[in-house]
Amino acid sequence: MVKRCAHGVCKSDTRYPERLSGGVVFFPFPKPKTQCERCLQWIKQCGRPHSQLNVSNITKHSYVCSKHFMNGKPTPEFPNPVNAVQEPNPTKEKLGGCRKSPKKRPRVCVQDASSGSTSTTDAGESQQHAVESESPEHPPLPGCQLEREPEEEQSCQSTEKEKELEAVNNNIKLQLSLQETELKSLKAHIGTFKKKTLTPELLQSSEIHKMLEYSTGFTYE
């Protein structure tokens, strides 16, 4: 059975093996009776005049070779051949891809407070209207925001450093005041010993436990 490619000016033909280099495979056209829409899409992608290729003259012997599919064969993502007309920036549909089905937007009922009537609008339109109403009349320019951000970061860093230095300074002041208090108490304690004569009673009243016994070897009794 002779198989010829119906895509554009392709010359792939099983009668000429030299034209089938690289393992060319032929894929039959979708049947017009069962897959009419897909068959019309293949005819459109092949780019031949309607007089040469249309639904009426499509038969089971009409083929497109593997050279004209994105993955070398029909796939779920690219089930159709690429468009025979070359374009600088082809779309996915021109490359034989499936066209995405349109998404259904949810409907939102809006009630008018004055009249009490309700109206149905798209969720996207109502959300856009809410954003526009909440946005200020003159929004700040993007450049101004970029210029302010480094200044705010520097101010935050400087305030944190000031707080840390202040905490360290307060800690040093507290330690210094404690040392001054301890020094004053030691000086006062030394002064009491200078004014008084050394007696057993003085050693007995010392804050050091058993000071008299350690100093003289005798107990107070």
The 3-state DSSP class for residue 111 equals: strand
In a domain, 4, yes or no: yes
In a domain, 31, yes or no: yes
The DSSP secondary-structure symbol of 53 reads: S
In a domain, 122, yes or no: no
Which residue range(s) make up the domain with 78?
1-99
In a domain, 127, yes or no: no
In a domain, 23, yes or no: yes
In a domain, 73, yes or no: yes
Rounded average pLDDT over 182-199: 78
Count of the separate structural domains present in the chain? 1
Rg (CA), the chain: 48
In a domain, 191, yes or no: no
Structure tokens at 55: 């639904």
In a domain, 137, yes or no: no
Would you state the pLDDT for residue 153? 72
**Ramachandran angles phi, psi of 216, nearest 5°:** -115, -20
Instruction: Give CA–CA dist 130/128, Å, rounded.
Output: 5
**pLDDT (tens digit per residue) in 47-103:** 876 656 777 777 767 899 999 898 888 888 888 998 888 777 777 676 666 666 666
Would you state the pLDDT for residue 129? 53
Rounded average pLDDT over 137-143: 51
**pLDDT (tens digit per residue) in 28-49:** 998 888 888 888 888 888 887 6
Tell me what the pLDDT averaged over the chain comes to: 77
Q: Give 206 or 101, the one with higher predicted confidence.
A: 206
- For residue 102, CA distances in Å to 40, 79, 105, 128 come to 21, 19, 9, 20
Instruction: Give CA–CA dist 126/111, Å, rounded.
Output: 12
